[in-house]
Each structure stands twice: as structure tokens, then as C-alpha cells.
Amino acid sequence: MSPQTCWHCGEPTLATIPIHVEIAGESRTLCCHGCVAAAQWIQQLGLWDYYRLRTGPARKPSTSPDDDRRTNIAWSRPDANQHVVRKAGNGHSETMLLVEGVRCSACVWLIERVLGAVPGISSVQVNAASRRARIVWDDSRITLTQILDLLSRSGYRGLPLNSQSLDDSRRRESRDALKRLLVAAFGAMQAMMFASVLYLGAIDATDTSTRQLFRWLGFLAATPVVLYSARPFFAGAWRSLQARQPGMDVPVALAIAMIYAASLFEAVRGNGHVYFDSVSMFVLFLLAGRFLEMRARHRAGDLTDALARLTPPFADRLVRDGTVERVSVHELAVGDTVLVTEGSIVPADGLLLSAACRVDEALLTGESSPQARSRGDTVIAGSTLIDGPAQLRVLRIGNDTALAGIATLVSRAHAQRPQLAQLGERAASRFVIRVLALTALTIAFWNYVDPSRAFAAALAVLVVSCPCAFALAVPAAITRAISVLARHGVLIVKPDAIQSLAAATHVVFDKTGTLTDPHLSLSDVSTTSRVTRQSALQLSLAIARASRHPTARAIVAACGDLKCDPQDSASHVIALSGFGLRATVDGREVRLGRADFALGSAEVLPTDDCVVLADDAGTLATFKFSERLRTGAREAIAGLQAQGLQVAVASGDAIAKVASIAAAVGVTTWRGRLLPADKLAWISAMRAAGARVIVVGDGVNDAPVLAGADVGIAQAGGADIAQASSDVVLVGGRLEALPLARQIAQETLTILRQNQRWTMLYNFTAVPLAAAGMVHPWLAALGMSLSSVCVLLNALRIGRRSDRNPVVHAPPVTAGNLPQGCVV
Amino acid sequence: MCRLNILLIMIPLSALLIVGAAVAFFWAVDHDQFDDMDTPALLPLDDSPQNGSEMQ
């Protein structure tokens, strides 16, 4: 086996025979016909530059193009179509697609070229960060199905999103914020410039008319800032007053209005200090803080929205005349007969009509080994059919299914969780109220001592203490932490997760799919005396690579790890669904599969995790499979324990399996056979005892716990509902990033506290001086800006330490150390 | 006094420039220029002719 990789998708060309195709004058090696078709199609369009521009390999095209095609056709059914397409007027339609396989800007380039050149498509906008494409087309010239087909041909997969995602309140919000920020920046610059003339006395100080001119110029520069840029604060204050729940906006709006009005009063009077520069900068800093927050929120929203808005999948319904039609799950009714193919997901709870099948319920229950079902048994929605095809009669649909029950549990758990986000807001609000009280005190004091100085001193207090640094401290630190963590493969979905992450005391891991690999792995090979271990593996590899069955793939993967070449003489490999594979090797028949099938006798009982290689003379070799520990699981747990966290394992799987995995990772607290509700109860009990709990999981059954924990961490490859109910998503299942993530979270909190302490210190020094009437306007403005800059620079220190020592990747745990086979 | 006279020209001029810049920026924001900061970076690098006729 040569270590060649596919030119198109970058996967090793091991699983199938490599294909050499002449493209763009050079011979390229490709792994499958899907890649060949995509590469030739891209070349034919003259878009070969895609391969030059891209920075990573392309998505592997679907292995079942016919199946994709039927799904694409099903999107044109009115029932599915109405949810995802919006009429844009004059015969045009508009939709938002989540495009699977967009990995870099070159993909965007390719998609825009491929679709943009098609007559009938009037607009294509692809965003690489959120993997979304907004497409507008002319109904009379092209259909949604044709557009999805074009994407499929290029190697991508378009998933239409609910048409609500077209209403981009988010885009409007970010445009508005940008404009307000720019006006504030321009206004503040100008106001500062005019004010410095007054401060520095560049103009002859005795020339009162010139001073007066610059006062009015400052007014001119600050007016758009206060009346336009600061409008969100006034609007927010008004709203919260109407709702009788004064928030942070009320004191901020009050301070802006007071400084502006007082300065205007001084300008009219033509005497005393004006603070137009300070009020503009105040607005600028506050807006900058809010802008950073908004960006973080939108990024997180892109991630969760796409998951929550994915419209339901399709099902293959058997029509009376024997044909199969693909309909959306909404259209299914109780009593319908649906056909589920091997490897696809069961669309609704149903009664099995076929003789027997096995289903994988790992995501739903945490059970790691496939479950056998026979005629008359119930199969639940959301489980994956391992060997099929199977026919089901629909028993329950929509909200009545077991899956929907879990979704309800998720929303209930969410509602019970305290919201930390508002705590910071409340602290800042309290601070501003105190400042206002202090201002009132200052006025009262000076009225008593020297009424002529009361106004100036009160104004100075207000300006000096205005919480610019306060407003910037939290968003700057959080934004920096989010970007540092993203670089390490940890996506923060909800920004307040950082605080909870740092404060956590307990970590609970799910087992199946989180600590262990969801794919089976070859754990043991035992051979008979007729073959060597090596030749048994070579023979099995030659047969197994024709199949995509999980056990066949485990054999192929193990052989790849062992650098084992396939024996070339195997031919005529035939897959018998549910039993195994049959092939001809050197003129004799060899079978690989369930024991009863491989040995050709019905008396042998098949076992779930055992595959037999046999010819007509009997057994050649027996393969055993087990789940294997994920890369980095042990390191992650050791790292978290070293940080003083209590680690536990909660799983829905069999007790013995949980025990062995817990022992392997060095965890003493574990529980098995837990239902989603049991897990939630356990976590709630921990939290009631004062623990702050991080939960790491990936399955549907973990979703309620993820939502109910202080921090829910989901794996990016896991179930959609688990990701949607989590606060943090781990990209590429990199568990070893967890200890680092917690470290960065703690660092962030330290910096946050430093920032707040610094702001306090500054205020405690400056406010009394201002109250005593000793602070000049220029000093007040300077102090305000400097304290804000200090806060920003301090925030940039987050993650510096971890950047210098990047994460060291542990070598992957492979099946390389297989025990030597014993003779059966 | 001549120093001040020049100010009377320069200040309106600077204000005019600022207003011009703000108008240009507003126009850019309204014409999708700031909606997607990641994607378009690579797009202008290559400008090969499109073979749209082969599409259908």
C-alpha cells in the first residue's frame, strides 16, 4: 500500500483502488468516483484555479450520489419548500443554505463561480465563516433542486435553512453599530482637537472671542456623537424605565445628557470649562465595548442558529403501488410504512416489519454496542440503522417521539439555569449610580462652601469617573479570550461560559463518543494454525475494503495502522447485508462476517462484537472489536485533576463497560446505566451541594445535562441537539484542549479582576481630587483615555503564555499493539 | 491676526473632509462592504474568464 492521498479530498486512497485521471495535463491520483466526478466537473468549468487557491483538502463528495439527488428533489415538494424559500418579488425566490464542505475562501470562490455563471441565478453570497450561502434565483428559469444538484456535483452539500434565517436583524444591527461607532470616532477626534486648543493655550489666552469660537466648534463636533451615536443608550434607558427595571443604560444616558447639557450651558455663558471632548470619547469607548460584545454574540449565534434552524430531514415512504417516495418528516402520518436504508437515521418511532436488524442507539442512550431488533420490536427515532434495509410502520411522530421528549428535557433544564451574564451588568450599574450620588453630594457640598464652583466641580466628578474603563474591561477581556480559545479548537458559544469554566469544581464526562471513539476498533485477532496473523489480516483487508460497514472499516483502519498491504488476489467481493462479505480468493470462496454466515452453519450463535474469517474448511481467524479510548482523553483528565478538579464519568452504557473505561482514564467516581433524566438528577444533586459542574458530552442523551450544567461542552462531531444546548464546542474532539481552556478562562478572570481593581484605584484617586475642584478638564480627559487604554493592553495579555507553549499533540492511540493471536 | 484668518479657512475645510469621509463610509456600509470580513480576501487574487456556456 502506498501512502498516497486523494488529490481532491486528501483522504488516503486505501479504502478503494486508486484511480489515476488525467486532469489539467497532469495525472492525478483520486480515491473514488465521487472525487473524480467533482474534479472533472471543476476542470470542465475552467475553475481549476480552485486547487491552487485552496488551503486545505476538499470535502469528500457523497458516496451515494443517487441518494443525494433524491433528497435534492424532495426539497422541491411544497411541504418542504415553503419552510425554506422566501418569495422575493417579480418571480424571484431567495433561500439561505448551510453549505457542508466550505473550508476556506477558495471554496467560496468556487461556489460563487459555479453558481454565479448559471443563467437564472441572480445573486450568490457565500460567507466562509458561517458556511452560509444566500442565493436569489428566477423561478421560471431554475429550481431549488437544480441549484442543490449543482452544489452536489461540485462536491458540496447544500442544506436549506429555515427561511427565518433570511430576516437578518443581525446584519442590520452590525451595520448600525459600525456607523454609530465611526461617527463617534470622527466626532471624538475633532472634539479632542478643538479642545486641545483650549487646553494648551495655542491661541492667545486673553483672546476670549477665539476661545468662544473653539467652544462652539467643540459643540458642533460633539452634537452628532450625542444625538446619533449615543441614541442606543437613550433608547435603552427609556425602554428600561418604561419597563420599570432600570439597567446600565439609565445612568449612562443620564451622565451623557448631563455632561452635554452642562457644557452647552457653559458655552452659552461663554465662561468656564466645556467637556465636549470628554462626552464624545465617553460615547466612543462605550460603543467600542458594545461592538466587541456584539461581534462575539453574532459569531456564537452563527454556530447555534445553524443547528437550531436546520429543517427536519426526509423519510422514504412506501406508497401503495410499491414505489418509494421521499417526503419530509412533517408529512409522515401514524401508520405509514417507511423504508430505512443501511447507515441512515430512523425518522420516527416505529414498529419493525422486516425480520431483523441492528440499530446503533449510542447517541440516544449511550449504549455503545449495537442493539438487535426483530420483527415486532420498536425502533426509536434518531437511532442509526446498522444493517438494513428495514421497513417500519410509523407509531409516533413529531412531538410524541422519544427524541422530542429529550428536547423538552433540554428546554426545561435551560430555564432552570441561573443567568450569570447580568451580574457584570448589575455591578457596572451599581457603580454608575454611586457616581451619580457622589456628584449630587459634590454639588451640595460646594453650594454650602462656594456656590460659584459647585457646577464645575460636579461636572469634573462626572467626567473623571465615567465608567469607560469599566465598560471596556469585560468585553475586551472576553473577546480576547474567545479568540485565543478558538485558536486552540475551543469555540465559546455563550460568552459567560468563560466565568463558569474558571469557577468550576467538578467535571463530568459522558463515556460513549466522548471518552471513547464512536467507531469500533479491532482489539483482538486470533488465528487458526492454517494462516499466519499477517496473512489473515491481508486477506481480510482485501475483502473488507469493499464495504463501509463499521466492522469492515475497523479492520481497514487497523490494517492501515499496522502498515499491512491487501492481498491482491481477492476478487468478486459480494456484500450480503446483515451477514457479511463473500469473495473469491485463488479460486476458493472466503467469507468474512457473522459467525453463522462465515462458517455456513446455522448452529453457531453469532455474537455482536465478533467477526469470523472462514473458508469451506472452517475458521481462519476471529476478530474481536471494542471501543477505544479517544486521543487525549487520558491526558485531558490527568490535566484537569492536576488543576484540582473532581472528575466523574456518567454513562448510559452497561456498568462493566463504564467501569473499565473509568479505570483506564484514572477516574474513581462513575455511574452506568443512566437515563438522560438520571444524569440530570445527578448533576442537579452535585450543584445543590455547592459544586460548579462542567459536563462534557456528545450525544442526544447528553443534551439535557449539557443544558443543565454550569458549563456544557459538546464535541463538534456529536449530535446537533447536544451542540445546540452546550456553551462550548470542541472542534475535532480535541479533549486535550480542556485543561488549557480552563487555564485560559482563569487567566481571563484574573485579568478582569486586575482591570476592575485598576479602574477602582483610578477612580478613588481621581474622584476626590475632582470633587475638590482640582482637576482641569484636560486632565480629566487624559485620565479617562489612559485608564481605558491600560484596560485594553492588559486584556491583550490573555493567552500570551499558552501561545508561547502551544499544545503538544500526543501520538494517536492506535490498534498498533494488538496482542499476538492465539491458536484456536 | 493672519494666523487666525487661515484658521477660518482650515477649520471649515477639515469639517468638510470629515463629512465627506463619513458619507463615503456610510455608503460602503450600506453596500455590503463590511458584512463579511473574512471571505472576500482571496476572491480578487484570480480572475480567470468564466466558461458559463458549459454550465447547462
Predicted pLDDT at A274: 82
**Nearest CB partner across the interface for A49, out of B18, B48, B54:** B48
pLDDT at A820: 30
Whether residues A579 and A687 share a domain: the answer is: no
Phi/psi-derived region of residue A59, left when phi > 0, alpha when psi is between -120 and 50, beta in every other case: beta
Residue A179 — very low, low, confident or very high, per pLDDT cuts 50/70/90?
A: very high
Shortest Cα distance, chain B CAs vs residue A51, angstroms = 12
Measured between beta carbons, the chain B residues lying within 8 angstroms of A210 are: 4
Of A567, A587, A616, which residue constitutes the final position of a domain?
A616
- SS3 category, A819: coil
- Which residues of chain B neighbour A128 with C-beta distances below 8 Å? 36, 38-39
* Residues composing chain A: 824
Backbone torsion region of residue A593, taken as left when φ is above 0, otherwise alpha when ψ lies between -120 and 50, otherwise beta: left
* DSSP helix/strand/coil, A324: strand
Q: Which of A1-10, A743-752, A815-824 has the lowest mean pLDDT?
A: A815-824
Give a yes or no: residue A741 inside a domain: yes
Taking the C-alpha atoms of residue A528 and residue B48, their distance in angstroms, rounded to an integer, is 62
Q: What mean pLDDT value characterizes chain A?
A: 78
Q: Tell which of B6, B14, B39, B53 to mutate to test the A interface (max A CBs under 10 Å).
A: B39
Whether A206 and A250 share a structural domain: yes
Searching chain B, which residue's CA lies closest to the CA of residue A176? B29
A179 touching B (Cβ < 8 Å) = yes
Answer whether residue A610 is part of any domain.
Answer: yes
Distances (CA, A) of A710 to A114, A412, A680: 45, 15, 12
- In the predicted structure, residue B7 carries a pLDDT above the cut 80: no
Strand pairing report for A337-340 and A390-396 = antiparallel
Q: What is the mean pLDDT of residues A376-386?
A: 82
**One domain for residues A178 and A295:** yes
Give residue A463's pLDDT.
Answer: 72
Please tell me whether residue A791 adopts helix, strand or coil conformation: helix
pLDDT band at A528 (very low <50, low <70, confident <90, very high): confident
A86 and A188 both lie in a single domain: no
Per-residue pLDDT at B51: 41
CA distances from A136 to A88, A169, A617, B30 (A): 8, 19, 64, 19
- Which pLDDT score, from 0 to 100, does residue A765 have? 83
CB contact under 8 A, B29 and A175: yes
Asked if residue A735 and residue A647 are part of one domain, the reply reads yes
pLDDT of residue A412 exceeding 60, the answer is yes
Mean pLDDT within A531-549:
78
Of A46, A104, A190, Cβ closest to residue B18: A190
**Integer Cα distance of A805 and A702 in angstroms:** 33
pLDDT tier, A166 (very low <50, low <70, confident <90, very high otherwise): low
Contacting A residues, span 147-176, partner chain B, CB-CB under 8 Å: 171, 174-175
- Residue numbers in B near A173 (CB within 8 A): none
Write out the three cell numbers for A572.
Answer: 468478486
Query: What is the nearest CA distance from A143 to chain B, expressed in angstroms?
Result: 13
Assign A752 a pLDDT band (cuts: 50, 70, 90).
confident
pLDDT in tens, B16-51: 999 999 999 999 998 878 877 766 665 665 554 444
Q: Which residue has the higher pLDDT, A471 or A636?
A: A636
Q: How far is A742 from chain B (nearest CA, A)?
A: 28
User: Given CB atoms, is A464 within the 8 Å cutoff of chain B?
Assistant: no
* Closest chain A residue to B34, measured at CA: A175
A350 within domain boundaries: no
**Does residue A240 share a domain with residue A294?**
yes
Whether A86 and A99 map to the same domain: the answer is yes
Can you give the pLDDT at residue A809?
39
Residue A605 has pLDDT above 70, yes or no: no
From chain B, which residues contact A within 8 Å (Cβ)? 4, 11, 14-15, 18, 21-22, 25-26, 29-30, 32, 34-36, 38-43, 45-46, 48-52, 54-56
At residue A15, the pLDDT reads: 46
A112 with B18: Cβ contact below 8 A? no
Q: What is the pLDDT of residue A83?
A: 74
Residues A492 and A472 in one domain: no
Stretch A325-335: mean pLDDT, rounded?
Answer: 81
Residues of A in contact with B48 (CB under 8 A): 46-47, 49
Query: Looking at chain A, which residue has its C-alpha nearest residue B26?
Result: A179
Comparing A378 with A103, the larger pLDDT belongs to A378
Statement to judge: residues A163 and A216 lie in one domain: no
At A184 the pLDDT is 94
> Is A46–B4 a contact, with Cβ atoms under 8 angstroms apart?
no
pLDDT tens string A442-494: 888 888 888 877 777 777 777 776 666 666 777 788 888 888 887 787 888 77
Set of chain B residues whose Cβ sits within 8 Å of the Cβ of A49: 46, 48
Whether A118 maps to a domain, the answer reads: yes
Higher pLDDT pick, A747 / A539? A747
Q: Which residues of B touch A220 (CB under 8 A)?
A: 15
Chain A's closest residue to B50, CA to CA, is: A46
Alpha-carbon Rg for chain B, nearest whole angstrom, is: 22
Nearest-by-CA chain B residue for A108: B39
Question: Does A136 contact B at CB distance below 8 Å?
Answer: no
CB-based contact B54 A52, cutoff 8 Å = no
Q: Is the pLDDT of residue B52 over 50?
A: no
Residue A655 has pLDDT above 70, yes or no: yes
Tell whether the model's pLDDT for residue A815 goes beyond 90.
no
Q: Grid coordinates standing for A748?
A: 481571563
Pick from A117, A137, A168: which residue ends a domain? Answer: A168
Q: Indicate whether A157 pLDDT > 90.
A: no
* Residue among A45, A105, A186 whose CB faces B42 most closely: A105
Whether residues A118 and B56 touch (CB distance < 8 A) is answered with yes
The string of DSSP letters for A468-504 reads HHHHHHHHHHHHHHHHHHHHTTEEESSTTHHHHHHH-
Q: Are strands A711-715 and A92-100 parallel, antiparallel or unpaired?
A: unpaired
Count of the separate structural domains present in chain A: 4
Question: Of B25, B26, B42, which has the smallest distance from its Cβ to A53's Cβ?
Answer: B42
Please report the pLDDT score of residue A203 as a whole number.
Answer: 56
Instruction: Give me the residue label for grid cell 447547462.
Output: B56
Which residues of A are the active-site residues? 510
Nearest CA in chain A to B36: A127
Residue A635's CB is within 10 A of a number of other CB atoms, namely 18
Tens-place pLDDT, residues A37-71: 888 888 888 787 788 777 777 777 776 677 778 88
The 10s digit of each residue's pLDDT in A338-348 is 888 777 778 88
**Overall average pLDDT of the A563-584 stretch:** 72
CA distance A719 to A722: 5
Pick A45's closest partner by Cβ from B40, B41, B51.
B51
Say which CATH number the domain at A74 has.
3.30.70.100
Instruction: Using pLDDT thresholds of 50, 70 and 90, give the confidence band for residue A186.
Output: very high
Chain A contact probe: residue of B2, B46, B47 with most A CBs at under 10 A = B46
Domain hosting A76: range is 65-168
pLDDT of residue B17: 92
* Gap between the Cα atoms of A59 and A439, Å rounded: 62
Measured between beta carbons, the chain A residues lying within 8 angstroms of B10 are: none
Whether A583 is in a domain gets the answer yes
Sketch the domain layout of chain B as residue ranges: 1-29
* Yes or no, beta carbons of B48 and A47 under 8 Å apart: yes
A582 & A690 share domain:
no
Whether residue A52 lies within 8 A of chain B, CB to CB, comes out as yes
- Range with the poorest average pLDDT among A669-673, B15-19, B52-56: B52-56
Given a contact cutoff of 8 angstroms between Cβ atoms, the answer to whether A310 and A163 are in contact is no
Same-domain status, A473 and A491: no
> Is A15 a domain residue?
no
Count of CB pairs separated by less than 8 Å, A with B: 81
Q: Which residues pair with A94 in a beta bridge?
A: A86, A136
Return the half-sphere exposure (C-beta side, CA atoms, 13 A cut-off) of residue A342. 14
Residue B50: its pLDDT value, please? 45
- What band does A806 get if pLDDT is binned at 50, 70 and 90? very low
Cα-based distances in Å from A160 to A94, A127, A147: 11, 15, 11
Can you read off the three cell numbers belonging to residue A805? Answer: 507553549
> DSSP code of A168?
-
Which residue in chain A is spatially nearest to B32 when comparing CA positions? A175
A541 and A660 within one domain: no
> Does the pLDDT at position A183 exceed 90?
yes
